[in-house]
Structure 1
Amino acid sequence: MGIPHFLAIPFPIQGHINPLLQFSHVLVTHGCKITFLSSDENYRKLKGERDAAGHGKTIDPNIKFVSLPDGVDPEDDRKDQTNVISTTIRTMRVKLPMLIQDVNALDSHNKISCIIVTKNMGWALEVGHQLGIKGALFWPASATSLTSFNSIQRLIDEGTIDSKTGLPTRNQELIQLSSNLPLMEAAAMPWYCLGNAFFFLHMKQEMENLNLAEKWLCNTTFDLEAGALSTSPKLLPTGPLMANENNILCSLWEEDRTCLEWLDLQPPQSVIYVSFGSMVSLKPNQFNELALGLDLLKRPFLWVVREDNGFEVNDACEFRGSQGKVVSWAPQKKVLSHPAIACFISHCGWNSTIEGVYNGVPFLCWPFCSDQFMNQTYICDVWKVGVGFDRDENGLISKEEIKKKVEQLLVDEEIKERSSKLMEMIIKNKTQGDQNLNMFINWAKD
Structure 2
Amino acid sequence: MAAETTPPRPRVMVLPFPAQGHVMPLMELAHRLVEHGLDVDFVNTEFAHDRVVKTLEAGGGGDAAGAAGPARINMVSLPDGMDTDGDRTDIGKLAGCLPAAMLGGVEEMIVSKKIRWVVADVSMSWVLRPLTTAGVRVALFSTFSAAIFALRLHVPKMLEDGVIDEYGNVTKKERIQLSPMMPAVDAGELPWTSLGKHPDSRRTLIQTVIKAVPVIELAEVIVCNTFAEIESGALARFPKPALAVGPLEMPSSSSSSCNFWAEDRACLAWLDAQAPGSVVYVAFGSLAVFDAAKLRELADGLALTGRPFLWVVRPNLLADDGAGEGWLDELKRRVGGGGEGMVVGWAPQQRVLSHPSVACFVTHCGWNSTMEGVRHGVPLLCWPYFADQFMNQSYVCDMWGTGMRICADERGAATKEEVRDKVERLLGDEGIKARAMSLKKKACASVAIGGSSHRDLLKLVNLLREQ
Return the TM-score normalized by structure 2: 0.88
> Residue 165 of structure 2 contacts residue 171 of structure 2 at CA under 8 Å; is this kept in 1?
no
Matches within 5 A, 1:23-422: 23-54=29-60, 59-102=69-112, 104=113, 111-157=114-160, 159=161, 161-162=163-164, 164-166=166-168, 170-171=172-173, 173-178=174-179, 180-194=181-195, 196-232=202-238, 233-242=240-249, 245-248=251-254, 249-310=257-318, 313-320=328-335, 321-392=338-409, 394-422=411-439
The equivalent residue for 2:456 is 436
> Residue 294 of structure 1 contacts residue 403 of structure 1 at CA under 8 Å; is this kept in 2?
yes
Give 1:179 shift: 5.2
The equivalent residue for 1:108 is none
> Residue 277 of structure 1 contacts residue 349 of structure 1 at CA under 8 Å; is this kept in 2?
yes
List gaps (5 residues or longer) in structure 1. Answer: 105-110
Tell me whether 315-324 or 29-38 shows the greater mean CA deviation: 315-324
Residue 342 of structure 2 aligns to a residue whose secondary structure is: strand
List gaps (5 residues or longer) in structure 2. Answer: 1-6, 63-67, 197-201, 319-323
Change (3 A) 1:50 1:187: same
Change (3 A) 1:35 1:356: same
Identical positions, percent: 38
> Residue 282 of structure 2 contacts residue 311 of structure 2 at CA under 8 Å; is this kept in 1?
yes
Q: CA RMSD in A?
A: 2.2
> Residue 305 of structure 1 contacts residue 327 of structure 1 at CA under 8 Å; is this kept in 2?
yes
1:67-114: per-residue Cα shift (whole Å, max 9, x none)?
111122122222122221112222112332223223x2xxxxxx2111
1:251-279: per-residue Cα shift (whole Å, max 9, x none)?
23210000000000000010000000011
1:175 & 1:43 partners in 2: Cα distance? 38
Tell me whether 375-384 or 244-253 shows the greater mean CA deviation: 244-253
> Residue 214 of structure 1 contacts residue 234 of structure 1 at CA under 8 Å; is this kept in 2?
no
Is 2:22 the counterpart of 1:16?
yes
2:246 & 2:117 partners in 1: Cα distance? 20
2:22 & 2:410 partners in 1: Cα distance? 35
1:247 & 1:333 partners in 2: Cα distance? 12
1:278 & 1:366 partners in 2: Cα distance? 14
2:78 & 2:371 partners in 1: Cα distance? 31
1:276-308: per-residue Cα shift (whole Å, max 9, x none)?
001111111111111111122221000000012
> Residue 68 of structure 1 contacts residue 92 of structure 1 at CA under 8 Å; is this kept in 2?
yes
Return the TM-score normalized by structure 1: 0.92
Change (3 A) 1:329 1:162: closer
2:242 & 2:387 partners in 1: Cα distance? 21
Residue 303 of structure 1 aligns to a residue whose secondary structure is: strand
Give 1:169 shift: 5.1
How many residue pairs get aligned? The number is 435
1:353-396: per-residue Cα shift (whole Å, max 9, x none)?
00011101001100010000000000000001111011236542
Amino acid aligned to 1:131: A
Give 1:188 shift: 3.6
Amino acid aligned to 2:78: L
